């Protein structure tokens, strides 16, 4: 059923977008992002609510370029996971879901490119690999949830997936804060 896909995508999105991400700055000034508090800073690493000084609203993950990039990467992996799942489970939906996936990728290509730039700029190889692992686990949870659904629900889910992929709530371009955060990011100067 479409509700299963919507629930799984919403769960995935909230898991990806709202996961606690800890930021720590080492003695050398190097910034590290992780899903676990730094061992040496456990008492100081609990995330605090930040308030945007301009608007007075609580800061969200979309306000931080690295977290916003993670949201985009997480959605990209979710789209890929749903595509692969439906291709295997309900081959009759392959054409429609492949077209919807391709349109989603084209619509979000600038955000995806910017997300990669931000991650390359702010995360070292080990951190990018750790982030990819976390997001792959979230995608696997999404697929496992779909896999556990009864066959008729899987069929309905995959049959409606092409419509769901094109829906507003999966369209990251509709999130003005996320788009502005990513597209206004300026590359850090490279040391010469």
Q: Are 70 and 21 in contact (CB under 8 A)?
A: yes
pLDDT value for 139:
86
pTM for the structure as a whole = 0.68
For 23, residues 6+ apart whose C-beta sits below 8 A from its C-beta are 31, 32, 33
- CA-to-CA distance for 78 and 136, rounded, in angstroms? 9
Per-residue pLDDT at 136 exceeds 90? no
- Burial label for 27, CB within 10 Å (0-12, 13-18, 19+), is exposed
Enumerate the domain spans of the chain.
Answer: 2-19+65-183
pLDDT for position 50:
44
C-beta atoms surrounding 8 within 10 Å = 23
């Amino acid at each position: 059923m479409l509700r299963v896909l919507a629930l799984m995508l919403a769960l995935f999105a909230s898991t990806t977008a709202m996961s606690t991400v800890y930021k720590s700055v080492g003695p050398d000034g190097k910034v590290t992002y992780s899903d676990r508090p730094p061992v040496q800073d456990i008492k100081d690493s609990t995330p605090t609510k930040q308030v945007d000084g301009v608007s007075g609203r609580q800061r969200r993950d979309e306000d931080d370029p690295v977290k916003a990039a993670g949201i985009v990467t997480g959605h990209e992996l979710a789209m890929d996971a749903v595509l692969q799942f439906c291709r295997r489970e309900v081959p009759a939906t392959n054409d429609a879901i492949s077209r919807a996936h391709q349109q989603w990728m084209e619509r979000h290509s600038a955000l995806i490119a910017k997300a990669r730039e931000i991650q390359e700029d702010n995360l070292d190889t080990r951190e990018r690999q750790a982030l990819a692992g976390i997001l792959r686990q979230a995608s696997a949870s999404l697929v496992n949830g779909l896999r556990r659904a009864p066959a008729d629900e899987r069929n309905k889910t995959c049959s409606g997936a092409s419509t769901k992929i094109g829906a507003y709530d999966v369209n990251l371009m509709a999130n003005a804060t996320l788009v502005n955060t990513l597209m206004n990011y300026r590359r850090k100067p490279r040391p010469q």
